[in-house]
Amino acid sequence: MDKTQGQVQDVETQTSWTQATLFLTLMVFTAGQSFLLVVLPPLGRRLGFTDLHIGGILSLSALLIMVSAPGWGYLSERVGRRPVLLAALAGGALAAIGFGTIVHFRLSGSLSVFLALILIALVRAIQALVTSGVLPAAQALMADITAPARRASGMGTLGAGIGVGAIAGAGLAWQVGGKNPVMAFSIIAALAGFALSSVLWLAKEPACMASARLSDAQLPLRRIWPFLVTTLVSISAYSILQQVTALRLQDSLGFSVEESISRGGAALMAAALAMIVVQASAVRVFRWEATRLLGVGAVIAVTAMLICTLATAYSTIVATFILLGIGLGLMLTGNLAALSLGTGPGAQGKAAGVNVLAQGLGQALGPITGAGLHRVSPQLPFVAATILLVIACLVAARAWRSAVTSSR
C-alpha cells in the first residue's frame, strides 16, 4: 500500500511539474507575440518602414499561424508533444535573436531599409510557422496528463498562462521596448530558452499515450464542431471590442484621442485580469463540469455585453468589461475542456490545432467587422458582439442537453 501511494504521489508530482511548465511555456509564447504586436508598428517607423509594410507583415504572419497550427497538431500525434514544444520554443528564441540583430544593424546604419524589411519579414514568417505549434501541443499534452474530472482545471491553467503572457508582453514593450528594443528582444530570447529548458527537463509525456498516437484516431468533427464554433464566435466578439472600445469612448463619450486610448486600454486590461483570476483560481474552486462552466460563462458574458451596449458612462463600461472577463474566463475554459473531452485519446493534438485555426479566424474577422460597423454607429459593434455571444449561449445549451442525455 505504501509503495502504491508513493507511485501515485510521484505521478501527481510529475503532473504538477508538467502543468507548471506548460503555464510557463504559454506565458513566454504569448508574451513574445504580445510584445511584437505592440512594438513592431512604432518600431517599424523608426527603422524606416511604412505602416503598410508592418501591417502586411503582421497580417501574413497571422495567416501563417492559422494554416500551420493544424499541421503541428497532427504532427504531435505522431512524434509526441514535447518534440513539437521544443522545436517551437527553439524557433521562438532564435527568432527573437534574429529580430534583435536586424534592429541593431539597421539602427546603426549597417543595413539598408529594403534589406532590413526583407529580413524582418522573413524572420517573422519563420517564427509564425514554427511557434504555431505551441498552442496545439500544449493543449494536447494538458489533456494527456489530466483526468476528465480535472480537465477544466488544466485548461484553466493554460488560459491563465496566456493571459499573464499578454500582460507581460505589453509591460515589456512599455518599459523596455521603446527605449532599447534590442535588449527587449534579448529578454524574450532568454525567456524562451528558459522555457525550453523547463520542457526538456521537467515536462514528461505519459507512456500510455504512445499507443494512442499510433492508433491514428480520426478527428471527431461531428462531436466537437459546437466547441469550435464557440471558439470562433467568442474570439470574434472579444476582437471586436479590442478594435472599437477606444473609438467608442472617443465618439460616444467625447474623450480625447489620448484619453480614449488610455481608458480603453484600462478597460480591456480589467477584462483580461478578470479572465486570469477566474482561470487561475475560480475554476479550481468551483470544480464544475465543463458544460456547466461553458453555459454559466456564456450567460454572464451575454449579460455583460448587453449592458455594455446600452451603457452611457465610462464607469459602467469598465464594470461590464470586468463582468465580461469573468464570463469569458469560465466560458473559454469550459469550452476547451469540453472540446478535449469530446475528442478522446489519439486526436487531442489534431483537435487543438483546428481550434487554433478557429481562434485565428476569430481574430481576423473581429477587427474588420468592428471597424466596419463602427462607421455606421458606435454601438453597433457591441450589438454584433452580443449576438455572437448569444450564439455561444445556444451552443452551450446544446452541449448541456447532450451531456445530460448521455449521462442517463
Per domain, the residue ranges of the chain are 14-204, 221-402
Asked if pLDDT for residue 9 goes beyond 80, the answer is: no
CB atoms within 10 A of CB 293: 29
Please say whether the beta carbons of 106 and 43 come within 8 A. no
Whole-number Å distance between alpha carbons of 89 and 147: 27
Whole-number Å distance between alpha carbons of 302 and 308: 10
Please say whether the beta carbons of 239 and 366 come within 8 A. yes
- Look at the block and give the residue holding cell 466560458: 331
Taking alpha carbons only, the member of 321, 320, 323 closest to residue 307 is 320
Please say whether the beta carbons of 92 and 32 come within 8 A. yes
Per residue, the 3-state secondary structure of the chain, as one string, reads CHHHHHHHHHHHHHHHHHHHHHHHHHHHHHHHHHHHHHHHHHHHHHHCCCHHHHHHHHHHHHHHHHHHHHHHHHHHHHHCHHHHHHHHHHHHHHHHHHHHHHHHHHHCCCCCHHHHHHHHHHHHHHHHHHHCCHHHHHHHHHHHHCCHHHHHHHHHHHHHHHHHHHHHHHHHHHHHHCCCHHHHHHHHHHHHHHHHHHHHHHCCCCCCHHHHHHCCCCCCHHHHHHHHHHHHHHHHHHHHHHHHHHHHHHHHCCCCHHHHHHHHHHHHHHHHHHHHHHHHHHHHHHCCCHHHHHHHHHHHHHHHHHHHHHCCCHHHHHHHHHHHHHHHHHHHHHHHHHHHHHHCCCCHHHHHHHHHHHHHHHHHHHHHHHHHHHCCCCCHHHHHHHHHHHHHHHHHHHHHHHHHHHHC
Report the share of the chain in percent with pLDDT over 70.
93
The mean per-residue pLDDT over the stretch 231-251 comes to 88
CATH of domain 221-402: 1.20.1250.20
Asked if pLDDT for residue 408 goes beyond 60, the answer is: no
253-312: per-residue pLDDT in tens? 888 877 887 788 888 888 888 998 888 887 777 778 888 899 999 999 999 999 999 998
Please give the pLDDT value at position 214. Answer: 43
Question: CATH second-level architecture of 14-204?
Answer: Up-down Bundle (1.20)
Asked if pLDDT for residue 24 goes beyond 70, the answer is: yes
133-164: per-residue pLDDT in tens? 999 999 999 999 988 888 888 898 998 999 89
Q: Name the grid cell of 256.
A: 480625447
206-239: per-residue pLDDT in tens? 765 544 444 456 788 888 999 999 999 999 998 8
Taking alpha carbons only, the member of 178, 248, 200 closest to residue 81 is 200
Write phi, then psi, for 178 (nearest 5 degrees): -70, -35
Please say whether the beta carbons of 340 and 288 come within 8 A. no
Please say whether the beta carbons of 317 and 308 come within 8 A. yes
Residues in the chain: 408
Please say whether the beta carbons of 191 and 206 come within 8 A. no
Taking alpha carbons only, the member of 227, 361, 238 closest to residue 294 is 227
Model confidence at 119, in pLDDT bands (50, 70, 90)? very high
Instruction: Please tell me which residue, 112 or 261, carries the higher pLDDT value.
Output: 112
